[in-house]
Amino acid sequence: MKRFEGKVCVVTGGALGIGRCLTREFAKEGANIAFIDINKSAGEENLLFIKEKGGNAIFYHGDIAEEKTLNSFAETVINTYGKVDYLINNACISKNGILSGCSYEDFNYVLRIGVSAPYMLSKLFMPYFSQGASIVNIASTRAFMSQSDTESYTAAKGGILALTHALAVSLKGKVRVNSISPGWIDTGEYYNESYTPEYSSGDTKQHLVGRVGKATDIARAAMFLCDQENDFITGENITVDGGMTKLMIYSGDEGWEYKEE
């Protein structure tokens, strides 16, 4: 029997990238998949792929920044499957930040996708979560560290970390809620099947494990958190970044020199 046979797994932003990987890996393990994305052609392509591989899935085309889309998507999921075992809030975008003039509307649009939508889907599915269900929020190491001009995305990822422990407390006894913070994850193969990665020595050596991350690294972490055998874990964040955020670097260390602009 497959690991998640008969379970229902909902994924936002499931058409491409990490989301595409999540839908496919959970489908391989027997889960029934429901995913939503604003990219219609990529979503339909992924749906066809899953079904051709013997999986069971539905795709909903829509923008999760819109409340009416969330309501309609949730209704479709429940009408199709009748329950939710796993909700993986993966979708997010960036509208850059303060240096490039990110507007009030753009900033809030990112927050609606990255924080408001995960909250609302958790609320909409609350009566339908199976006992022992799991919510996994995809955060980012950007919640702890930043490059310049990234305020919209960084704020959303910081917000979903806080939302994680808040929901874990509110939903205690029925739904476990955790988050994953990916570091550098190369998702090229989930955009282009003929993709071949090329890395410099610096790309790999800045990771303590000596390689750049793969989308399947995140999928395995999500499966770990969803597995009922790991039901003692809730309200937590797992950083999956090959140790990159643990390496403290001063100018002159590790072959790195700071250059003034």
Tell me the catalytic residues: 153
Give CA–CA dist 237/235, Å, rounded. 7
Length in residues, the chain = 261
For the beta carbon of residue 148, count every other beta carbon within 10 angstroms.
10
Strands (E), the chain: 8-12, 32-37, 56-61, 84-89, 129-138, 175-182, 185-186, 213-214, 237-240
Going by their DSSP bridges, the two strands 32-37 and 8-12 should be labelled as: parallel
Work out the widest C-alpha separation in the chain, in whole angstroms.
Answer: 59
- R_g of the chain computed on alpha carbons: 18
Residue showing tokens 């476990």: 176
Residue with tokens 């303590």: 208
- What single-letter DSSP state applies at residue 127? G
